[in-house]
């Protein structure tokens, strides 16, 4: 039997960080974003996927939301309201869905200050494939230092939420709670009438301990617009068409980056986190691309695993350092994929499990193919960027445009007789080419 869904928008906060714009005369979710209230953008995205039954949780100045949207018929949806007379936290008011007699199986639950344009079919499909109670959308962002970080296991089950308010020691995955959820209506049993309940630190923590929460990782547009600076940024990105282009219904453009010698300084085989140091212009280049319609994905051969120099977990820790260092400079990677294999035998401490021929080790295209499937990537409008002829041959094999960097090996490996589309001094100049500025490049 097909599951039935409704949508709930949590719009009960006071929006104190936006007082300069609201002047406490209008609720934050009613701020006009390029001509429409913030909530209207959310309703339009969700209703595009056939979900037409909405509940809006209101609080301070909530009557202005209700006056504007009414029963929702003007937008082709049906809207009901829950009004908090006293704050009940981010989840407490969900209790009143029981008193409304909701008939749906599951709830799309979103915070009113998160702007998004996502393919709900994909997220719902992920939710229905898991035997859980909650799926939350997770993604990397440009400010992980002041965001709640989500820890996932190999099955994408959430094992912990690391609050933005806690002191963080060590490196971390840039995997952030986006403020977009799908909840089974079964979770309403944990709520009590008029009782305060925080979603992340209350309800979700309870369900995480039961193994019932999963993370849906997506590259789609979803950004917190809860500060003046971020509100202005999402306004510009909507006007530039970035929201819609990032929706995974649409073919995506991507910049595939090699790792060693491209993002971090080349120093031979990197088998421990201490050896990873970012290239001088790497964070700025990645940040430039983050502000565009392009995805940024690292694809890297890591034969150190096959050679027995380090483990898969060591590689992941090295990548956590890379993500943390980039995040400290407001840059992020949409994904990282690596090949641990190496076909040649004879190393003293080699791991025979990884000493195989594979289709993922560059210049084979397996890693790129995996990302194409995951993110609906259009290879012919994408780029492969790296410091070796292996990277350029990979791009040629996959059908991308290619950019060779003079950093790292600078193409001196000479393993393949291949001509890149461009040769440039560093990743920042390569990012400029991708974004339409050929600047100091050599077009070959």
pLDDT digits (tens, 9 = 90+) for 282-296: 999 999 999 999 999
CA dihedral 147, 5, 123, 162 (to 10 degrees): 20
Has 260 been annotated as catalytic?
Answer: yes
The residue count of the chain comes to: 444
Same domain, 211 and 123: yes
The pLDDT score that the predictor gives to residue 3 is: 86
Say if 246 falls within a structural domain.
Answer: no
SS3 state of residue 210: coil
Q: How confident is the model at residue 443 (pLDDT cuts 50, 70, 90)?
A: low
Q: Is the pLDDT of residue 441 over 60?
A: no
Same domain, 295 and 330: yes
Which residue among the candidates 224, 260, 271, 421 is catalytic per the annotation?
260
The pLDDT score that the predictor gives to residue 389 is: 98
Number of domains in the chain: 2
End-to-end CA distance of the chain: 58
Same domain, 313 and 207: no
What whole-number distance in Å separates Cα of residue 363 and Cα of residue 383? 14
Same domain, 190 and 279: no
Q: Which uninterrupted H or E stretch holds 245?
A: helix 242-246
What whole-number distance in Å separates Cα of residue 222 and Cα of residue 210? 28
The pLDDT score that the predictor gives to residue 169 is: 86
Q: How confident is the model at residue 47 (pLDDT cuts 50, 70, 90)?
A: very high
Same domain, 157 and 112: yes
Residue 395, CA distances (Å) to 33, 262, 340, 418 in order: 39, 15, 19, 10
Average pLDDT, the chain: 95
Q: How confident is the model at residue 23 (pLDDT cuts 50, 70, 90)?
A: confident
Same domain, 301 and 211: no
- Do the Cβ atoms of 84 and 57 come closer than 8 Å? yes
Tokens of 33: 């974003």
SS3 state of residue 297: strand
Same domain, 302 and 188: no
Say if 35 falls within a structural domain.
Answer: yes
Instruction: Compute the C-alpha angle 283/221/185, nearest 5°.
Output: 130
Which residue among the candidates 113, 224, 258, 271 is catalytic per the annotation?
258
Q: How confident is the model at residue 421 (pLDDT cuts 50, 70, 90)?
A: very high
Q: How confident is the model at residue 1 (pLDDT cuts 50, 70, 90)?
A: low
Say if 356 falls within a structural domain.
Answer: yes
Tokens of 255: 């910049």
The pLDDT score that the predictor gives to residue 438 is: 67
Same domain, 229 and 260: no
CATH number at 51 reads 3.90.550.10
Point out the least confidently predicted range of 97-101, 240-244, 386-390, 435-439: 435-439
Q: For 337-358, what is the mean pLDDT?
A: 91
Q: Among residues 198, 214, 237, which one ends one of the domains?
A: 237
Q: Among residues 183, 204, 237, which one ends one of the domains?
A: 237
- CA dihedral over 38, 43, 254, 435, signed as positive or negative: negative
The pLDDT score that the predictor gives to residue 367 is: 98
Q: Which domain holds residue 224?
A: 5-237
Q: Which residue has the tokens 């068409």?
A: 241
Same domain, 220 and 262: no
Same domain, 223 and 309: no
Same domain, 262 and 225: no
Say if 298 falls within a structural domain.
Answer: yes
Q: For 259-277, what is the mean pLDDT?
A: 97
Q: Is the pLDDT of residue 238 over 80?
A: yes
Q: How confident is the model at residue 264 (pLDDT cuts 50, 70, 90)?
A: very high
pLDDT over 90 for what percent of the chain? 89
Say if 108 falls within a structural domain.
Answer: yes
Q: Among residues 186, 203, 237, which one ends one of the domains?
A: 237
Say if 222 falls within a structural domain.
Answer: yes
Q: Is the pLDDT of residue 420 over 90?
A: yes
Say if 245 falls within a structural domain.
Answer: no
The pLDDT score that the predictor gives to residue 61 is: 93
Q: How confident is the model at residue 70 (pLDDT cuts 50, 70, 90)?
A: very high
Question: Residue-wise over 79-90: b if at least 16 C-beta within 10 A, else e?
Answer: bbbbebeeebbb
The pLDDT score that the predictor gives to residue 442 is: 63
Say if 244 falls within a structural domain.
Answer: no
**Entry pTM:** 0.94
DSSP string, 85-153: SS--TTTGGGGHHHHHT---SEEEEEETTEEEE--HHHHHHHHHHSSSSEEEEEE--S-GGGS-EEEE-
CATH number at 326 reads 3.40.50.1000
Same domain, 232 and 271: no
What whole-number distance in Å separates Cα of residue 19 and Cα of residue 31? 11
Tokens of 225: 């617009």
Backbone angles phi, psi at 300, to 5 degrees: -140, 135
What whole-number distance in Å separates Cα of residue 181 and Cα of residue 321? 28
């Amino acid at each position: 039997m097909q599951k039935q869904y409704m949508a709930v928008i949590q719009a009960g906060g006071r929006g104190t960080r936006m007082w300069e714009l609201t002047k406490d005369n209008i609720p934050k979710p009613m701020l006009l974003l390029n001509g429409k209230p913030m909530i209207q953008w959310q309703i339009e995205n969700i209703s595009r996927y056939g979900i037409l039954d909405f509940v809006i949780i209101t609080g301070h100045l909530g009557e202005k939301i209700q006056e504007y949207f009414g029963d929702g018929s003007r937008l082709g949806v049906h809207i009901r309201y829950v009004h908090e007379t006293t704050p009940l936290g981010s989840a407490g008011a969900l209790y009143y869905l029981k008193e409304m007699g909701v008939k749906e199986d599951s709830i799309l639950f979103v915070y009113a200050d998160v702007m998004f344009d996502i393919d709900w079919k994909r997220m719902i499909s992920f939710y229905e494939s898991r035997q859980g109670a909650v799926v939350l959308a997770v993604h990397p962002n440009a400010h992980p230092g002041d965001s709640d970080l989500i820890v996932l296991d190999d099955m994408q089950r959430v094992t912990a939420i690391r609050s933005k308010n806690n002191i963080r020691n060590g490196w971390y995955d840039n995997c952030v709670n986006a403020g977009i959820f799908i909840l089974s209506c079964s979770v309403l049993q944990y709520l009590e009438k008029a009782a305060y309940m925080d979603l992340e630190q209350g309800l979700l923590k309870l369900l995480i301990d039961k193994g019932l929460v999963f993370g849906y990782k997506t590259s789609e547009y979803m950004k917190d617009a809860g500060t003046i600076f971020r509100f202005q940024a999402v306004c510009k990105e909507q006007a530039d068409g970035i929201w819609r282009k990032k929706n995974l219904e649409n073919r995506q453009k991507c910049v595939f980056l090699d790792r060693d010698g491209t993002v971090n300084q080349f120093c031979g085989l990197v088998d421990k986190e201490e050896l990873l140091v970012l290239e001088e212009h790497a964070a700025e280049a990645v940040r430039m691309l983050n502000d565009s319609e392009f995805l940024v994905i690292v694809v890297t051969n890591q034969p150190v695993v096959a050679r027995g120099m380090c483990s898969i977990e060591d590689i992941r820790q090295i990548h956590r350092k890379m993500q943390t260092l980039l995040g400290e400079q407001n840059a992020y990677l949409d994904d990282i994929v690596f090949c641990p294999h190496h076909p040649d035998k004879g190393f003293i401490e080699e791991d025979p499990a990884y000493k195989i021929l594979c289709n993922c080790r560059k210049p084979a295209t397996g890693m790129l193919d995996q990302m194409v499937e995951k993110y609906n990537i259009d290879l012919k409008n994408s780029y492969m960027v790296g410091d070796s002829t292996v990277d350029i041959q990979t791009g040629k094999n996959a059908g991308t445009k290619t950019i060779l960097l003079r950093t790292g090996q600078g193409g001196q490996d000479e393993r393949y007789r291949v001509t890149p589309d461009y040769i440039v001094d560093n990743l920042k100049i390569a990012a400029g080419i991708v974004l339409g500025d050929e600047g100091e490049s050599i077009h070959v």
